[in-house]
Structure formats: structure tokens, C-alpha cells
Amino acid sequence: MRYSANLGFLWTELPLPDAIRAAAAAGFDAVECHWPYDVPADQVKAALDETGLPMLGLNTRRGAPGENGLLALPGRQADARAAIDEAVGYARAVGAGTVHVMAGFAEGEEAHGVYVENLSYACAQAPDLVILIEPLNRHDAPGYFLRTTDQARAIIEEVGAPNLKLMFDCYHVGRTEGDVTTRAADLLPIIGHIQFASVPDRAAPYHGELHYPTVFEAIERLGWDRPLGAEYKPGGPTEATLGWMKRSRAS
């Protein structure tokens, strides 16, 4: 199994290029990030080239404080599309293959219509990239527009774009829906990336409600051969939390 370090949570005390180098030194196979836009893309690309790690993906901006994304917000279409254009441009500049477009806090039919329109725009603007949507659990993000994998699947089918895929985060699915391995198998045809963290505390895996040796084995049996995203909160030095990766690779 291969793993990607999510630098939105891991090595956050370091500048992004140095965090990429730290991930390489720790043995990760790839990196991903949240919002890299304050760092010039050429500096990130140089660190990726130096280490040989691919950047798997990044997020669109969250918008104003408290919005947590823009794509489902009525009246904010211009801002949402500017955020999409920015993320697509940055992804191309650093060689990232995916962009997670964040929906924001909204509900109702108008929000649904705006979200579908903006997703169609994103997919059309970036046919060379995978556009990801991710349901967030109701405990961490109450009121977030995209809440379940069933809702995400229906929207992916409605948009009908071949490059629109699901970000399957074992942590969010575990907190909201449970039955993570069965859900992963059922949704496999539309999954574009998989992430993980312990449930319910979002710390390093191998404790809590999800038994990750079983989860990783099940994902591998599905034929998934891309790096899984370690998107957990280390609660201290990242290096001190990496025992899970050593155990996984030793098994």
C-alpha cells in the first residue's frame, strides 16, 4: 500500500516546500495539500522535482470566514468560478492531477442548482484533471451542503462529466454512515481519491472505531493501487505519529 501525506495537517509548522521534503524523508509516496496559494507554484514544483514526489491534489479556496467553500452558495457564482480557475491553474503548474472543489454551507434546491452548474463549469474548464467532491460529516461541518456519499453519487450522475469523481474519506464516511469497507466497494467506480484518519478523533490511524489494517486490506483487495491520503491531525510532531505506516508496510 502506498501513502500520500496531506500537508494541510502534517508538518504544518514548516513552509510547504520543506514539508514536501519532510514527507519524502519520512517515506511517503506522494503529497497533497489544502490551500497552497500563498506559496509560489514554482517553489512547490521545485520541491516536488527535488524529492520525486507527485502532488496528488489541492482544494479550492474556502471563501470568507465561515463559508467553507463557494460552489453551492447562491449569488456567489463569480467568486466560485474564480476559485475554480485559480485552483486549476495552480494544479497544472505543480503537476497535481485532482482538484477538490468545496461546496460550502448551504441547503435547498437553489443551492443544489448552483452547485451542479458550478461543477459542470469546473469539469469543462479542466478536462485534463479530476474534479473531486467530498461529503463532510455533520459533526465537524454541520450545515455543509454535501453530506453523504449517496447525495454525492446522485450529483455525479446528474452532472454526467467523466472527470467528476468522489473523494472517499474513510474518516467522514465512518462518522456519518459507517460500514466503510462496504461503502468503498459499492462506490469504487466513482471514487477518485481515498483519505483516512482515525474515528472519531481524526488522529493517526490504528486506534479508535475503525480497524485500519482491515480497511487497508479491503481497499487493496478492491484493486486500488493509488496512494491513500493520510489526512489526520497529528496533535504534535508528525514524525512521532508515523508508527501506523511502519506497521502497515511490515504486515
Q: How far, in Å, CA of 246 to CA of 226, rounded?
A: 18
Tell me whether residue 134 is one of the annotated catalytic residues: yes
Place of cell 472517499: 168
Burial code of 139-178, b = ≥16 C-beta within 10 A, e = fewer?
Answer: eebeebbbbbbeebbebbeebebebbbbbbbbbbbbbbbe
- 55 and 31 Cβ atoms separated by less than 8 Å: yes
Place of cell 482515525: 198
Catalytic pick from 217, 220, 231, 239?
231
Catalytic pick from 32, 109, 117, 134?
134
Q: How far, in Å, CA of 9 to CA of 22, rounded?
A: 13
Tell me whether residue 231 is one of the annotated catalytic residues: yes
Which residues are identified as catalytic? 134, 231
